[in-house]
Amino acid sequence: MNRTDNMHRICVSIARATVEEGLAVAEGICSLADVIEIRLDHLQDIFVSPFIAHLTKPLLFTNRPIWEGGGFAGDEEARIAPLIEAAKQGADYVDLELKAPTASQKALLEAVESSAGRLILSWHNFQETPTREELVGRLAMIQDKGAHIAKIVTMAHDYHDVLRVLQLQEEAVRMEIPLIAFCMGSPGVVSRVATVELGGYMTYCAVNEDEATAPGQLSVAVLRQIEALMQKKGSH
């Protein structure tokens, strides 16, 4: 499945304990973000409507479970409910794991299909970067599930890992599915910058250096500085 639209570039991930804190942070970095990700799994009490009501930037809602590196420890039905609500209320994106139960994927896809939003199916490997064959297989699985956008993020131990993940963009073009793909870890930092220059749908960054939600995540200020420098160098 493929929806043609303007690609977003920089998504700022916000992981705060309260809605009030999350809103305050989001409003503070709004001018630097193309998309704002609200990490529901970090909220003490989960609500989606205040973010949709008060923020004008495109919003992505994620409720990452512990088994995929997140903070949500409740049952699956409770985890999926706010994502379905977000889709019905007009969220631009909702993120669900490829490993999530089929029932969750179907329910969320149904909610998204009756809205203008898009479903990101994500797959993370926090230990390593698999072979190209496995990565392409994961991408195909995500497409087969009906996702509008694929997300594949792995842990890089050297530049070979980084290159394998970035080269997935070629396969995504062939399969006609937008792809978010980069690497975690120190060797993977360059991929967070390069991915959007190589066809990636968007990259993720933190509010500041102290609030990274994944290993190797840059702050939005640093990422914007790098982007400006690249544009300046490219104009000469």
Burial 113-146 (b: 16+ CB within 10 A, else e): eeeebbbbbbbbbeeebbeeeebbebbeebbebe
Q: Which of 42, 57, 148, 151 is catalytic?
A: 151
Look at the alpha carbons of 60, 63, 66, 68 in this order and tell me if their dihedral is positive or negative: negative
Alpha carbon separation from 226 to 118, 202, 230 (Å, rounded): 28, 15, 6
Residues 6+ apart with CB under 8 A from 32: 10, 12, 220, 221, 224
Q: Which of 124, 145, 148, 233 is catalytic?
A: 124
In eight-state DSSP terms, residue 35 is E
Is residue 151 flagged as an active site residue?
A: yes
CA terminus-to-terminus distance, the chain: 39
Compute the distance between CA of residue 114 and CA of residue 92 in angstroms, rounded to an integer: 12
By annotation, the residues acting in catalysis are 124, 151
